[in-house]
A and B are shown apart, each in its own frame.
Chain A
Amino acid sequence: QSVLTQPPSASGTPGQRVTISCSGSRSNIGSNPVNWYQQFPGAAPKLLIYTNDQRPSGVPDRFSGSKSGTSASLAISGLQSEDEADYYCAAWDDSLNGHVVFGGGTKLTVL
């Protein structure tokens, strides 16, 4: 069971806006920034959003992140078929001398 909680699945039709939630606790999301990773089948994960809401170069502005308290969200607007992938949130956790925690992942399906 993952420390950060994500819905196992999400879906939307092309053009729609979908959000994926990530819930944690005071020692992780409540105290540290959240990052999001995108993973296509058979490929390595790729950094999608860092420090809550920052996009690396090359990531479309259709992807956005936010954080409030002990929860974070990834939003994808103007959904496209190529956005179908697994999405993971992650954060530093200050407990137990410090370690990284991931969410269980959300499989996004574009209908």
Chain B
Amino acid sequence: QVQLQESGPGLVKPSQTLSLTCSVSGDSITTGGYYWSWIRQHPGKGLEWIGDNHYSGSSYFNPSLKSRLTISVDTSNNQFSLKLGSVTAADTAVYYCARRRSYRGVNWFDPWGQGTLVTVSS
């Protein structure tokens, strides 16, 4: 089955760029009908969708994060990545990658990666 695994630094300094990668196994990232997504969860809080990208380049972003956000898909390595710039302590969260099924108006996230905690602190 499809599995996703996040990787990247667990500590980022304020004003720097948070960079994470999600490795996909069990299926090709170019399989049709899917977007590759990032979702975060602040400590003790609910889920917040960050954005996602299709291997063709089509993308969607959380309007509140769009100006700081880059999500890219690397088809040669079957992985996708997140870059969030100018981070502050408010960006401290567990970051999940997930596959979003998207076709004929339906959308759902499945599966999810295990999540990785990123702390923004000097």
Please give the residue numbers on chain A whose beta carbons come within 8 Å of chain B beta carbons, in ascending order. Answer: 2, 32-33, 35, 37, 43-47, 50-51, 56, 88, 90-92, 96-105
Q: Choose one: B49, B105, B110, B113; the contact of A100 (CB below 8 Å).
A: B49
Please give the residue numbers on chain B whose beta carbons come within 8 Å of chain A beta carbons, in ascending order. Answer: 37, 46-49, 51, 60-63, 96, 100-101, 105-115
B-side binding surface: helix, strand, loop or mixed? Answer: strand
Tell me the smallest distance from the CB of B110 to a CB of chain A, in Å: 4
Q: Choose one: B47, B60, B62; the contact of A37 (CB below 8 Å).
A: B47
Tell me the smallest distance from the CB of A102 to a CB of chain B, in Å: 5
Contact A105 B46, beta carbon cutoff 8 Å: yes
> Do A99 and B46 contact each other (CB < 8 Å), given the known contacts A35-B107, A35-B108, A56-B110?
no
Contact B107 A92, beta carbon cutoff 8 Å: yes
Contact A102 B108, beta carbon cutoff 8 Å: no
Q: Choose one: A32, A35, A97; the contact of B109 (CB below 8 Å).
A: A35
Residues of B within 8 A of A96 (CB): 63
Q: List 20 A-B contacts (CB under 8 A).
A: A32-B107, A33-B107, A35-B107, A35-B109, A44-B114, A44-B115, A45-B47, A45-B109, A47-B108, A47-B109, A50-B106, A50-B110, A51-B108, A90-B108, A92-B107, A97-B60, A97-B63, A99-B60, A102-B46, A103-B46
